[in-house]
Chains A and B, each alone.
Chain A
Amino acid sequence: MNQPATQSAPSDVVELRIPCRAEWVALARLAVAAVANRSRFSIEEIEDIKLAVTEACTAVIQHENHGETIEISCETDDGALRLRVHDAGRHVHAPKIAAIDFDEARVAGLGVFLIRTLMDEVTYEVHPDTGTDLHMAKRIPGRTT
């Protein structure tokens, strides 16, 4: 039987569902940090991932049209940690911002700015029937996607 020349590691998926309330956000970032810690991320990169997840959950909670729960899915494969943050609300919390106007101390969009800065890939999907997905990925150092 022929074996493939290269064999990629199977992807592992961890899923978490939290109530859409502020007191649960810390649990989400700790859980994601634990998953990230199993890959070869540095402490600094794990902190980046924690902040991105926190900002994603916070954006959902602060939106008036959010669902009852937030679902967080973490998938690690050969090349990256991929996160999906889903809530049942149908909204887009991704304002187009090129830069933040700090002269006016405008903080709207700061969370999204951080997510886009700290993660390697960020995309939003709004599904009319099921809600909003934020997809984020952080490449694992020393590996290719």
Chain B
Amino acid sequence: MDIKVQVREAPGDCYVVELSGEIDVYTSPKVKDAVSDLIDRGVYNLVINLENVRYIDSTGLGVLIGGLKRVREHGGTVNLVCSNPQIRKIFDITGLVKIFGIFDNEDAAMKALV
């Protein structure tokens, strides 16, 4: 099992982090490194695309929450793209739907940043 991380610049001074695969205790450090690297470079508006994520556990949620905390300190935010019902269920039952903007597609997530 692995996670594929692709980072690309998007219009409006934001970046998209596109993830593919499974996010667990083994793969989440790779996601954390990618998100932290962007924040260290002064990118505080992020869209994290989970459309191709088949699985996420609490360590993955922890990475997302940690990233959100850091960007909020700089007035930024993290929006998520997720339409997979099973992944959305995890955000629902943990209450994370209340702290993340979660969108069905990348365009909507990026528009909500500005």
Contacts and interface: CB of A to CB of B under 8 A. Distances in A.
A62 B62 CA distance: 13
B114 interface: no
Given A22-B26, A25-B26, A105-B69, A111 B57 contact: yes
Interface string B75-114: 0000000000110011001111011000000000000000
B99 A105 contact: yes
Interface in B56-72: 57-59, 61-62, 65-66, 68-69
B25 interface: yes
Contact of A114 (B24, B68, B85, B90): B90
Nearest to B28: A22
A105 B94 contact: no
Contacts of A100: 94-95
Contacts of A62: 25
A23 B26 contact: yes
A58 B98 contact: no
Interface string A71-89: 0000000000000000000
B66 A105 contact: yes
Interface residues of A, number: 24
Nearest to B65: A105
B18 interface: no
Nearest to A111: B58
B25 A25 contact: yes
Contact of A58 (B57, B65, B66, B95): B57
Question: Which A-B residue pairs are the 7 nearest by beta carbons?
Answer: A22-B26, A26-B1, A111-B58, A110-B58, A107-B62, A58-B25, A22-B25
26 contacts: A22-B24, A22-B26, A25-B25, A26-B22, A44-B85, A44-B86, A47-B55, A50-B55, A51-B55, A51-B57, A54-B25, A54-B57, A58-B57, A58-B58, A62-B25, A100-B95, A102-B95, A102-B99, A105-B65, A105-B68, A105-B69, A105-B99, A107-B62, A110-B62, A114-B94, A117-B93
Interface of A: 22-23, 25-26, 44, 47, 50-51, 54-55, 57-58, 61-62, 100, 102, 105, 107, 110-111, 113-114, 117-118
